[in-house]
Chain A
Amino acid sequence: MTPRFLPYALLLPATLFLLVFFLYPFVQIAVLAFSGPDGFTLQHVQTMTSHWKFGTALTNTIVLALIVVPIQLVMALSMATIVTKLRTGRSAILYIFTIPLGLSDLAAGIIWLAIFEQSGFLNSLLYGLGIIERPILFLGYQNIWVIFIAVVLAEVWRATAIVMVILVSGMGLIPKEYYEAAEVFGASPWKRFVKITLPMLRPSLQSALILRTLAAFEVFAVVIALGGTTLPVLMGETFQWQFALQDRNVASAYALVILAISVVSTLFFLRVLRVPKEARI
């Protein structure tokens, strides 16, 4: 096969698959957002944007992602770096770090609720240490920022492992000669990290950031578990319109908003962390 057709041949199975199992149903849903009894309409989009929760849901979703994703990036980089520096127990430590991978967001929500709820573990600890006399209400609707922090903690705990595993696989590919050479020239560990690790890791960083940000925009189960409806997010509103209010048109409009901010953020990461065709050095 000539090299001109090789890429298409490689892409063909995945493309066909996605056309049938994603694009076909997707188009069916997406048109709902704009179709009314008399053809094209912006009625549903209007219903969505004029609903009093829309603005809050959009802001919450974006702000959550803006806080969670950078924290996870820093933590994942530290974890990956630490692992490479360990002399003993490396595989055990790596395994521990990856444990949250196996957890569903449902389970994560249950666990963190058990920590933060009024009769939960955190209150038990504070009470046991004699710091408080009666349990504190952490997740009340008046303290939205506490709920926010709880959601951030739970999300960081749950989904950092994904970023870390991608980065660890990427770090393994950086030739050690580079570090050795840098050391000969007396580069400090920090300098080595900034000048070698980060640039060489660009493809992995890009993939990890894209995947993680997309997931962050779909945050749902953890928010519902910890905040109920006090902290509306886009995915929660999509569910609400689709199933509780049974208005599939508006639900579809919400889903398209999630899609839109995801595409924008992906384009951003593709631009900022551009990966050359082959990672020549």
Chain B
Amino acid sequence: MTDAILTDTPRSVSDAQAAGRFLIIASTVLLCVWVLVPIYLLAVNTLSSPQEVSGFPKSGVPSFDFGSVQFFVSFAGVARALWNSVVVAVLTMVLSIGLGAPAGYALTRFDFPGKEAFRMLVVMTRAFPLPLLALPLAVMFIRVGLDDTALGLALVHTVLAIPFAVLITFSIFSGIPIELEEAAWTLGCNRWQAFQKVVLPLVLPGITASAVFAFTISWNEVFAAAVLTIENRTLTAFLVQNLNVSPLHLKFAGGAALVIPALIFIFAVRKYLFSMWGIANR
């Protein structure tokens, strides 16, 4: 494919190729617009005065009224809640990958009795509504002292994130021929070294993808956070759980307050997420 692109540098492209390029560019633009316009509208409403947010017709251009934003920034304890959210999300990331990636590898490389049972257990975890599990978990946490700790909440969020970690790493490991590992074994590597030197670089994007999921799942989760944290509220539990019943302009500002850190996080890890073209070119 790289070759195809290189060869068409001189303007000797056929009409079909030109049409193809146009199609790609057009659909790229269209898809970008599709993704960005709602985000833009969120930004518009966040940066408008309450009257504009509830008025009609809307101009679609922000008036840069920072009242709603200021309301959230001035909320006592926002900084700490932000920090708690980050801590919980990072813990969730570490836990879900630490527990999930080995399982994903085992599901790919081995056939063993109990494999299907494990897979079903993982799927059920994702398929059962968390708000119902929250009650017995909260009782358990209060009894053992995990209540109102970052670790306790991260454990619950890991329950949500682990199916992603297992299934995504499973699909990525499946895409790597075992011959690659076998070749490394014949060259004198043991199983672990072969994994580390050959497989790990290839699966990095997949691992990053599941890390991103783990992070955003934890970041956006409201219910368990509201039940299980009191002093150590996360940002969602702190700001957003009552957005539903708050005035419109604050709904939007609160929504934006949640989105921005998540976007910064994805931006920060995008290098790992999209690095596959470099390494996979083997």
Contact = CB atoms under 8 A, between A and B. Distances in A.
B178 A278 contact: yes
Contact of A98 (B36, B124, B240, B266): B266
A183 interface: yes
A269 B280 CA distance: 27
B127 A10 contact: no
B212 to A, nearest CB: 7
A179 B2 CA distance: 10
A45 to B, nearest CB: 16
Interface in A155-197: 157, 162, 165-166, 168-176, 179-180, 183, 189
A8 B24 CA distance: 46
Contacts of A14: 99-100, 102-103, 118, 122, 162, 166
Interface in A107-121: 107, 110-112, 114-115, 118-121
Given A21-B156, A278-B174, A85 B24 contact: yes
Nearest to B59: A124
B27 interface: yes
Interface in B100-121: 100, 102-103, 105-106, 108-112, 114-115, 118-121
Interface residues of A, number: 109
Q: Which interface residue of B98, B123, B170 has the most chain A CB atoms within 10 A?
A: B123
B266 A166 contact: no
A79 interface: yes
B267 interface: yes
Contacts of A263: 120, 123-124, 127
**Which size bracket describes the interface of B in this complex?**
35 or more
Contact of A99 (B24, B35, B58, B124): B35
Interface string B177-198: 1110000000000010000000
A102 to B, nearest CB: 3
A91 B24 CA distance: 16
A69 to B, nearest CB: 15
Interface string B266-282: 11001001101100111
A280 B174 CA distance: 9
A243 B176 CA distance: 47
B68 interface: no
Contacts of A121: 41, 58, 60
B124 A173 contact: no
A214 B259 contact: no
A145 interface: no
B132 A251 contact: yes
A103 B262 contact: yes
Given A180-B3, A200-B175, A207-B170, A6 B110 contact: yes
Contacts of A7: 106, 109-110, 112, 115
B159 interface: yes
B78 interface: no
A88 to B, nearest CB: 11
Contacts of B100: 14
Interface in A91-108: 91, 93-107
A52 interface: no
B92 interface: no
A112 B133 contact: no
Contacts of A151: none
Contacts of A135: 56
Interface in B248-273: 251-252, 255-256, 258-259, 262-263, 265-267, 270, 273
B24 A95 contact: no
Contact of A204 (B110, B175, B219): B175
A275 interface: yes
Nearest to A224: B244
A166 B54 CA distance: 39
Contacts of B111: 277
26 contacts: A17-B99, A84-B277, A95-B267, A96-B35, A102-B262, A105-B220, A107-B220, A107-B255, A111-B38, A112-B38, A125-B60, A127-B56, A157-B38, A169-B205, A170-B171, A173-B172, A173-B280, A203-B171, A207-B167, A238-B129, A238-B131, A258-B129, A262-B124, A278-B108, A279-B174, A280-B179
User: What are the 6 closest A-B residue pairs judged by CB atoms, nearest first?
Assistant: A172-B276, A102-B262, A262-B127, A104-B220, A203-B174, A119-B56
Given A79-B31, A91-B274, A165-B273, 8 more contacts: A10-B103, A22-B133, A99-B263, A107-B259, A124-B56, A165-B212, A169-B168, A211-B126
